[in-house]
Amino acid sequence: MEDAHETLKGVFGGDLFPSHSQNIASKCGLYVDTLVLPDPFLRSRILFDRLSPKQTVFYLIKHALNLLQYKELAIADASPPIVVVLPDTTLIRDSEQDYIFGLGRRDAVIHAERLFGRGFSCFDELMDYGSSLDTIDKAASSVADDRRLLFDTTWTGYPFKGRDSSPRTSALLNP
């Protein structure tokens, strides 16, 4: 969302999460393209040390039910998205952020191994390999499983000449 410069965003900055008695998207949605809501579970974490287990469960369930009010808007096939739920990066400890980035890097390596049909010992090795694929032809000839490849929806070419499969596109990659 930080890179969606053409989108007018409204960021909820109040309490732990918007009130359960009103859906703020129905009011703010008239004025912004995308409503950015905080991750209520991450925001509530600061309270959990002070709450009893029963109170902690109460707030987890309360936030889960409240979050469901925004489900249809969050999963709607719209570009830009109507509602997104994002963590406050300031609430993520450096060690947690490193952990999350590490998970993403491991997932990228697993995906790339399947996409290219070869092993990578680590994320840096994958990045080195990826930097050698500096043309569409090089990248296309390196792909072992083109079912795992997504293209930008605005690109009309297809690099796999002579193959029976057709390109898959992703609206998520649409600029």
The reply to whether 169 falls in a domain is: yes
Residues 84, 101 within the same domain: no
Model pLDDT, residue 120: 96
Residues 16, 70 within the same domain: yes
Q: What is the mean pLDDT, run by run of 10 residues, along the chain of 175 residues?
A: 68 70 69 80 79 88 87 87 81 74 89 95 94 87 84 62 49 38
Residues 29, 71 within the same domain: yes
Residues 65, 117 within the same domain: no
Residues 114, 166 within the same domain: yes
Model pLDDT, residue 170: 42
Q: Which domain holds residue 30?
A: 9-91
Output the six-digit token pair for 144. Answer: 């072992």
The reply to whether 4 falls in a domain is: no
11 DSSP β-pair partners: 36
Model pLDDT, residue 34: 84
Model pLDDT, residue 29: 63
Q: Are 52 and 64 in contact (CB under 8 A)?
A: no
Model pLDDT, residue 1: 65
Output the six-digit token pair for 105. Answer: 């890097």
Residues 85, 25 within the same domain: yes
Q: Is the pTM of this model over 0.75?
A: no
Output the six-digit token pair for 97. Answer: 């952020």
Residues 76, 139 within the same domain: no
Model pLDDT, residue 173: 39
Q: Which residue has the tokens 């009309």?
A: 156
Q: Which of 40, 58, 91 is the last residue of a domain?
A: 91
Burial of 30 (0-12, 13-18, 19+ CB in 10 A): exposed
Model pLDDT, residue 116: 95
Q: Which of 58, 91, 124 is the last residue of a domain?
A: 91
Residues 63, 102 within the same domain: no
Residues 83, 104 within the same domain: no
Residues 99, 80 within the same domain: no
Number of domains in the chain: 2
Residues 54, 86 within the same domain: yes
